[in-house]
Amino acid sequence: MLIMPPFQREGHGCELLTRVFADLRDQRSVVDITVEDPSDGFSSLRDYIDAKNCSTLPSFQPPSIHQPFNSAMAEEARVQLCINKLQSRRVYEILRLYHTDMTDAAARRSYRLMVKQRLNRPFQKEQSDITKLKEKNALTGPELAAMVAANPLEERHQYLRVQYDALLEVYTKILLRLGPLK
């Protein structure tokens, strides 16, 4: 999809993508709508459209939105809007932020920990893999030490802080564009 520069920032991309998604959803053979290697601008546009559409689904409204992301939410987004699980999780985080009172320290902390838990999953998998290799004696002392030292805890915490802050900035821009939800 390409909108020429003189016509960008006028809502044409949003309208075009909204209509393409609507047409595709009407076809029974379409199960999932994905985009290969999207640009940052396209990803933001898609997040905005998907958040707007998902905001009408019961699973993405209070009180359900305050529960942990689950397979029922992913399934509802897939069936109703042809949104894959990864994208529905991202939209869940955006809409959960919308419904979270960020002036409330406990609510803000709960939201931050939920997002960071998802961001931390690759590190947890790596730790699990290292543990399995240890149990099988597949690593020697120097190899094991190198793998364990590859991601010191403080570096991981710093990485999670930076990633969380970047996501919060992106999500906030999307929410500002969404405005009040109906």
The H-assigned helical ranges of the chain are 12-25, 40-54, 71-81, 85-98, 105-135, 141-149, 153-178
Contact 1, 12 (CB under 8 A): no
**55: three-class secondary structure by DSSP:** coil
Q: How far apart are CA 94 and CA 169, in angstroms?
A: 11
36 has catalytic annotation = yes
Residue with tokens 């999780």: 89
Contacts 24+ apart (CB under 8 A), 138-146: none
Query: What is the end-to-end Cα distance of the chain in Å, rounded?
Result: 29
- Check 36, 135, 154, 169 and give the catalytic one: 36
With CA atoms as reference, report the closest residue to 118 among 92, 100, 99. Answer: 92
Name every residue whose Cβ is closer than 8 Å to that of residue 22 and which is 6 or more positions away in sequence: none
Give me the active site residues, please: 36
